[in-house]
Amino acid sequence: MLSAIFNALATNQSEQLFTMNGKTRGLPRNQQTAVDDLCKEVDGWIKTTGVKYFDPLTNMAMLAEEVGEVARIMARRYGQQSEKASDRGKDLGEELSDVLFVVLCLANQTGTDLQRAWREKMLKKTARDAKRHRRNPKLK
């Protein structure tokens, strides 16, 4: 079973469309963007528009800052904090994209193969959690 999952991930044959909250999400296979493609897109942008990468420690601080912006939206829109009028226009997708952008920068500038790491992580999680979450009574 694991080899089938690995092959599907390695060859990008897995169907990426899924349904969440009654809406179909994801992209058709021919429009999917692999992690490698995202890393290359960010690297190209940095070299042409961003001039150069901020140093890794600056980007680490920026990652914390962007995660904080996501946390603010989550606490106020989905959590119990009241949402101020000035928070209502904030876009969760934009803030999650800010987090992803900095993560991709950190991967690029540290020589991390994030595509490979992602595949390995998903395989590890799939093997480790094959029955774990189905057995969790809190998820029923």
- CB-closest chain residue to Mg ion: 98
Looking up tokens 């991930």 gives: 9
CB of 140 to Mg ion, least distance (A): 36
Q: Is 69 in the site for Mg ion (CB under 5 A)?
A: yes
83 vs 98 by CB, closer to Mg ion: 98
69 vs 87 by CB, closer to Mg ion: 69
Q: Is 43 in the site for Mg ion (CB under 5 A)?
A: no
Options 5-13, 40-48, 69-77, 122-130: segment touching Mg ion (CB under 5 A): 69-77
DSSP 76: I
Q: Is 98 in the site for Mg ion (CB under 5 A)?
A: yes
If we measure between CA atoms, which residue out of 118, 74, 79, 106 comes closest to residue 93? 74
CB of 72 to Mg ion, least distance (A): 10
If we measure between CA atoms, which residue out of 128, 129, 104 comes closest to residue 117? 104
User: Residue 98: exposed, middle, or buried by beta-carbon count in 10 A (0-12, 13-18, 19+)?
Assistant: middle
98 and 66 Cβ atoms separated by less than 8 Å: yes
Options 71-79, 93-101, 104-112, 116-124: segment touching Mg ion (CB under 5 A): 93-101
44 vs 68 by CB, closer to Mg ion: 68
Q: Which residues bind Mg ion (CB under 5 A)?
A: 66, 69, 95, 98
